[in-house]
């Protein structure tokens, strides 16, 4: 399969300032042949097996040695620096890479089980979504919304102006949303309140699995409430689309009830809450 270059990387466009996301063309799947040269790493495990089998008797290789050597060679193949920018971790082996990735580069919010790739973003999320202290400072007009980009010191009065900054300064796509507004039915909110009392922090990697399996009602109720307070306090410019006719109490029908792993309908639908069912 070919690797298509997004249009924004072509020669002619480099002279113009990059347009946030409108110039990007998705590199769709193309079925093309993939050839590997004899010394390609793709063939390394087969080559190793060849030598092991041919020399097993002559070199008196024990089964344990065989296993160990195979592991070592595989680790060598996956000896790399973590691909995440700024992470200096050196890793040996795919297992180590995956474990490292899932423990250091995914951080799970134990309140609403959203997953973030860095603890910084998790911190920001927790402050902005689950912390009433934060909401209070916002209400008093302090610029509490930090820029999401690590290293950028900018702070904003509200989510919307931060959003604008991300789009203008850091070329984030306009449709990007740091907060998901999820709205639960009254019943679910009650269930979640009960759950909150029993909730405990869990291990990172397993948490993202486990939390997904826990009843979906553990979605951000607090998030919803504080988010709505924030909205009530912010100015009209925070709404990037048509007017704000958000009622303070919303019931939102639940569909697709499944035992596991189905989260609230996500996506950009900010306006879902603006209509009553029926």
Partner 1 sequence: MLNPVDHSPASRRDQFKAAVGNVAGERRRKQAIIIGKERRDAVVRAKRMRRADDNDEGMMYDEPFSDKIINEETVRAVQELKFLFSSSSKDSSQKKIEALRKLRRLLSCSSNPPVASAVEAGVVPILVKCLEFGSSDEQLVEAAWSLTNIASGDSELTLAILPALPLLIAHLGERSAAPVAEQCAWAVGNVAGEGEQARDLLSSQGALLPLAKLLLLNKPMLVKTAAWALSNIIKGPSSKAAVELFKVDGLSEAIIRHLTKGDEELVVEIAWVVVYITSLAESQTKLLIKSGLLPPLVAWLSSSESLSLLTPVLRSVGNLVAGDNSNTDALLDAAKDLPGGLFGCLVRCLGSEHRTLQKEAAWTVSNIVAGSLQHKQLVFGSRVVPTLLHLLATSTFDVRKEAAFALGNLSVMPAGESQLPQPIMEHLSMLVERGCLPGFINLVKSPDLEASRLGLQFLELVLRGLPNGQGSKLVEKEEGLAALEVLEYHDNDDLRSMANELIDKYYGEDYGLEEEYGPGIAEVVRGGEEYPSWRKGRGGI
Q: Is 10 in the site for partner 1 (CB under 8 A)?
A: no
Q: Which stretch binds partner 1 (CB under 8 A): 152-160, 162-170, 190-198, 203-211?
A: 203-211
Q: How far is the CB of 225 from partner 1 (least distance, A)?
A: 16
Q: Is 241 in the site for partner 1 (CB under 8 A)?
A: yes
What is the per-residue binding string for partner 1 in 92-111, x denoting contact by CB under 8 A?
Answer: -xxxxxxxxx-xxxxxxxxx
Q: Is 65 in the site for partner 1 (CB under 8 A)?
A: yes
Q: Is 203 in the site for partner 1 (CB under 8 A)?
A: yes
Q: Is 146 in the site for partner 1 (CB under 8 A)?
A: no
Nearest Cα neighbor of 257 from 188, 182, 167, 201 is 188
**82 close to 106: Cβ distance less than 8 angstroms:** no
Q: Is 26 in the site for partner 1 (CB under 8 A)?
A: yes
**69 close to 41: Cβ distance less than 8 angstroms:** no
237/261 with CB nearer partner 1: 261
Q: How far is the CB of 31 from partner 1 (least distance, A)?
A: 4
Q: How far is the CB of 137 from partner 1 (least distance, A)?
A: 10
**Residue 106 burial (C-beta neighbours within 10 Å; 0-12, 13-18, 19+):** middle
Q: How far is the CB of 274 from partner 1 (least distance, A)?
A: 8
Q: At what angle do helices 132-139 and 221-233 cross, to 10 degrees?
A: 10
Q: Is 247 in the site for partner 1 (CB under 8 A)?
A: no
- Rounded to a whole number of angstroms, the CA Rg of the chain reads 25
Q: Is 225 in the site for partner 1 (CB under 8 A)?
A: no
Other CB atoms within 10 Å distance of the CB of residue 20: 17
Q: Is 37 in the site for partner 1 (CB under 8 A)?
A: yes
Among 11, 12, 16, 60, binds partner 1 (CB under 8 A): 60
What is residue 262's DSSP assignment? P
Q: Is 1 in the site for partner 1 (CB under 8 A)?
A: yes
Query: CA 188 to CA 193: how far, in whole Å?
Result: 9
What's the angle, vertex CA 28, arms to CA 149 and CA 209, rounded to 5?
55
Q: Is 263 in the site for partner 1 (CB under 8 A)?
A: yes
How far does CA 24 lie from the centroid of its chain? 20
15/26 with CB nearer partner 1: 26
Q: Is 176 in the site for partner 1 (CB under 8 A)?
A: yes
Q: How far is the CB of 268 from partner 1 (least distance, A)?
A: 5
Q: Is 139 in the site for partner 1 (CB under 8 A)?
A: no
Q: Is 151 in the site for partner 1 (CB under 8 A)?
A: no
DSSP per residue over 55-66, as a string? HTTTTT--HHHH
Other CB atoms within 10 Å distance of the CB of residue 248: 7
Q: Is 138 in the site for partner 1 (CB under 8 A)?
A: no
Q: Which helix (H) or strand (E) holds 156?
A: strand 155-156
Among 15, 17, 38, 140, binds partner 1 (CB under 8 A): 38
Other CB atoms within 10 Å distance of the CB of residue 255: 8
């Amino acid at each position: 399969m070919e690797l298509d270059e997004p249009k924004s990387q072509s020669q002619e466009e480099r002279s113009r300032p990059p347009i946030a996301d409108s110039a990007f063309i998705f590199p769709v799947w193309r079925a093309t042949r993939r050839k590997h040269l004899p010394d390609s790493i793709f063939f390394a495990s087969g080559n190793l097996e060849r030598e092991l089998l041919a020399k097993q008797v002559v070199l008196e290789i024990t089964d344990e040695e065989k296993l160990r050597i195979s592991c070592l060679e595989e680790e060598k193949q996956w000896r790399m620096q973590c691909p995440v920018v700024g992470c200096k971790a050196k890793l040996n082996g795919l297992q180590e890479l995956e474990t490292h990735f899932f423990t250091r580069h995914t951080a799970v919010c134990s309140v609403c089980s959203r997953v973030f790739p860095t603890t910084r973003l998790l911190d920001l999320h927790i402050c902005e979504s689950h912390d009433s202290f934060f909401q209070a400072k916002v209400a008093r007009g302090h610029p509490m919304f930090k820029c999401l980009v690590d290293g950028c010191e900018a702070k904003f009065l509200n989510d919307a102006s931060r959003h604008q900054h991300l789009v203008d300064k850091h070329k984030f796509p306009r449709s990007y949303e740091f907060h998901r507004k999820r709205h639960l039915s009254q019943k679910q909110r009650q269930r979640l309140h009960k759950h909150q009392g029993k909730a405990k922090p869990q291990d990172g990697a397993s948490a993202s699995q486990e939390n997904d399996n826990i009843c979906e009602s553990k979605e951000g109720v607090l998030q919803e409430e504080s988010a709505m307070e924030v909205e009530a306090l912010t100015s009209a410019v925070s709404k990037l689309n048509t007017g704000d006719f958000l009622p303070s109490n919303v019931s939102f029908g639940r569909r697709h009830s499944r035992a596991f792993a189905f989260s609230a309908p996500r996506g950009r639908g900010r306006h879902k809450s603006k209509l009553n069912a029926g």
